[in-house]
Copies of this chain bind each other. A is one copy, B any other.
Amino acid sequence: MVNKNFGFGTQIRKSPYFDSTVKWGATGFSVYNHMYIPRDFGSPEKNFWNLIEKAILCDVAVERQVEITGPDAYKFIQLLTPRDLSKLAIGQCKYVLITNNDGGILNDPVLLRLAENHFWLSLADSDILLWAQGAALNSGLNVKITEPDVSPLQLQGPTSGEIMVKLFGENIKDLKYYWLREYNLDGIPLIVSRTGWSSELGYEIYLRDGSKGNELYEKIMEAGKEYGLQPGHTSSIRRIEGGMLSYHADADINTNPFELGLDRLVNLDSEINFIGKEALKKIKQQGIKRKQVGLVLDCEVLKGPNTTFWPVHKDGKEIGKITSAVYSPRLKKNIALAMINIDFSSIGNKFKVLAGEINISCTIVEKPFYDPKKKIASF
C-alpha cells in the first residue's frame, strides 16, 4: 500500500500531504471522510513515545471543514449544537457535539470562530456538510454551507511549542488553549489553533491552499529537526489514555451525550435553541440506561486495538461492549473504553470480556487513565 500510485481509483481522495507522508515512511493508510489518512509509520508504540517525549507531525487533512458563513451564520451554528455558544469569541474554538432531533450524536468536531459570522466545524468522520445543508433547507436562515480548501496538520507533543516559535516567532507563545490565529508562512496561508487529539501540548495548522501541502509538511519537518520531531499519526494509545472519543468507535448516532458523561457540552437550562433539545431534555429527565466507563483488562499485552466490539458479560449475561481497547506501554496496562448498562457502572466492578475466543477479566477504573485534568495540554 505504500507505492505512490496505490489506491482504488479516484473514489478516495489523497491528502495534499500524501507524497510527503509516503516519503517520510507511512506504511499503512485508513480512510476517513472519503480520504486516505496515514495510520502507521512502522510501530504504533514508537509513535506514542515520539509523541509524549518530543513531538510528531500528523497529516489530518481528513478533518474536513464545514464552513458556515452568511448573515445568519451565528444563529445557524447555535442550532447545530447543544453547547451554549453565546460566549464564543472571535478567534476562539470549542469542542462541540452535533446532535440530531433524537439527541443522537452525529459528530464531535472542534468549532472555530474566524469572524462574527464565519465558522468552521473541524470534523470527525461523518458528512456533516450534508447534515448542515439539510438542516438549513427550511430553517429560514440565510447561510452558505461549503467545504473549503482547508487541510489541517497536527503538531503535537512537548517540544511542539518550541517548533512553533521557530516557525512563527515568539508571539505564538501567547496563543491560549482552544484559541486560533491567522498566519502566513512564506506565502502559505494558514490558520493555527492550540488544539489537537493527543491530550499533549499541541497545535493544529490549517492549510488554506491545497497546492502547498507537501511544501508545508517539509517546512515543518525541517524546523522540527533539532527538537526531535518525527513524522507520525494520531495515537490511539494516547487518545485512549486521555479518554478522548473516536467517532463510530466510542460514539455513534445511537449514543447520547449523557451516556458519555459529556453533560458539560449540553446546555439545557440556557435560552438557546438547538436541534435535539426536546429529546435531550426527555433523556435527562428519564435517566440514561448505559454509561461509558474506563476498564483495565487483566490479560496478556494486547497486540493492537480491538477491531470488533467485544461483548462485556456479568454472570453470563451481556451488559455492554468494549468500544476501544489498547495496551499502554507507559501505564503497563491494557486499558479500554466501554459502554455498559448503567446498573453495573460503578468503579471497582468486575466483568468478563469476550475477545474473540478469549475470556478476559476486567475492572472498572477512573477515566481518563492519565492526566485526568488535562493539565499537560491546557496549561
Closest B residue to A104 by beta carbon equals: B133
| Chain B residues with CB below 8 A from A9, complex form | 236, 246, 249, 305-307, 324
Query: For the complex, is A137 an interface residue (Cβ under 8 Å from B)?
Result: yes
A30 within 8 A of B: yes
The answer to whether residues A8 and B305 also contact, given A101-B137, A134-B132, A137-B138 and a CB cut-off of 8 A, is: yes
A253-B129 contact, Cβ under 8 Å, with A9-B236, A248-B10: yes
Collect the chain B residues with CB atoms within 8 Å of residue A43's CB: none
Q: A127-B131, A128-B130 are in contact. Are A307 and B7 (CB under 8 A)?
A: yes
Tell whether A156 is near chain B: CB-to-CB under 8 Å: no
The binding surface of chain A is classed by DSSP as loop
A106 within 8 A of B: yes
- What residue in chain B is nearest A233 (Cβ atoms)? B8
> A100: CB under 8 A from chain B?
yes
Copies in the complex: 2
Cβ proximity bits A198-210 to B, threshold 8 Å, 1 near / 0 not: 0000000000000
CB–CB A10/B131 < 8 A = no
Q: Is A304 close to B, CB under 8 A? A: yes
A45 to chain B, nearest CB (A): 15
Taking a contact as CB atoms under 8 Å apart, the answer to whether B106 and A130 are in contact is yes
Is A126 within 8 A of B127, CB to CB? Answer: yes
Interface assignment of A349: CB less than 8 Å from any CB of chain B? no
Contact A8 B39 (CB under 8 A): yes
Instruction: Decide yes or no whether A6 CB sits under 8 A from chain B.
Output: yes
A136: chain B residues within 8 A (beta carbon):
134
- The listed residue (B10, B126, B249) touching A308 by CB distance below 8 A is B10
Contact partners of A106 in chain B: CB under 8 A: 130
Most chain B beta-carbon contacts within 10 A, residue among A125, A126, A133, A247: A133
- Is A75 part of the contact surface with B, judged by Cβ < 8 Å? no
**For residue A307, which residue of chain B has the nearest CB?**
B7
Closest chain B residue, CB of each to CB of A303: B5
Closest-by-CB residue of B relative to A9 is B305
